[in-house]
Amino acid sequence: MSKYTVELDIEQVDRIVADELIRCRQAWVNDLMVGGSGVFNWDDQEAENAELQKHIDAVDVLLSWYCTPQQLEDYGLTRISTIFPGIDVNDQG
């Protein structure tokens, strides 16, 4: 097995984290749209959907920390207010 050393700057690390969060979020959104996948609760569809939504909401909070407005736009989330209605992107201080 070979070993490699890779140097990444903070923006690259943030992008990798955001890409993975988006991938997980999209999988959960897809599961929610088709009625759940049984990941969190096999026997109760309502509980499954509620748990999926909790995880989606949590990822949205993380994305607001890791993504710039441009990155959110790149992901198809045109503004932070797409994730959090009522929040102005210019008022994140």
* Spans of all domains in the chain: 10-84
pLDDT tens for each residue of the chain, 93 residues long:
899 999 999 889 888 888 899 899 888 888 888 876 777 878 888 888 888 888 888 888 888 887 877 778 787 775 555 555 554 544 444
Estimate the share of the chain in helix, then strand, then coil, as percent rounded to the nearest 5.
Answer: 65, 0, 35
What's the pTM? 0.69
pLDDT at 92: 45
Contact (Cβ atoms closer than 8 angstroms) between residue 80 and residue 90? no
Q: How many CB atoms lie within 10 A of CB 50?
A: 14
